[in-house]
């Protein structure tokens, strides 16, 4: 399971996820737990990441 998050309410999902992505403007704790940090949510970080993965 892959998950994306930016705040503390995502921590339970991060605990069970295989891959954890935090946006640049996420809470510091989320940033420290994430496997990778992607573009901030104000710049459509999740959508941009998914587009890059799906386009190969």
Q: What is the pLDDT of residue 36?
A: 97
Long-range Cβ contacts of 26-31 (<8 Å, 24+ apart): 30/5, 30/6
Residue 56 has a pLDDT of 72
Q: What is the CA radius of gyration of the chain?
A: 11
13-56: pLDDT as tens digits: 999 999 999 999 999 999 999 999 999 999 999 999 999 999 97
Structural tokens at position 52:
């890059």
Q: Whole-angstrom distance between the N-terminal and C-terminal Cα of the chain?
A: 19
Other beta carbons within 10 angstroms of residue 34's beta carbon come to 22
């Amino acid at each position: 399971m892959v998950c994306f998050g930016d705040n503390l309410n995502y921590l339970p999902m991060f605990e069970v996820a295989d891959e954890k992505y935090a946006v640049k403007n996420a809470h510091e704790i989320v940033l420290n737990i994430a496997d990778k940090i992607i573009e901030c949510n104000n710049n459509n970080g999740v959508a941009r990441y998914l587009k890059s993965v799906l386009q190969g």
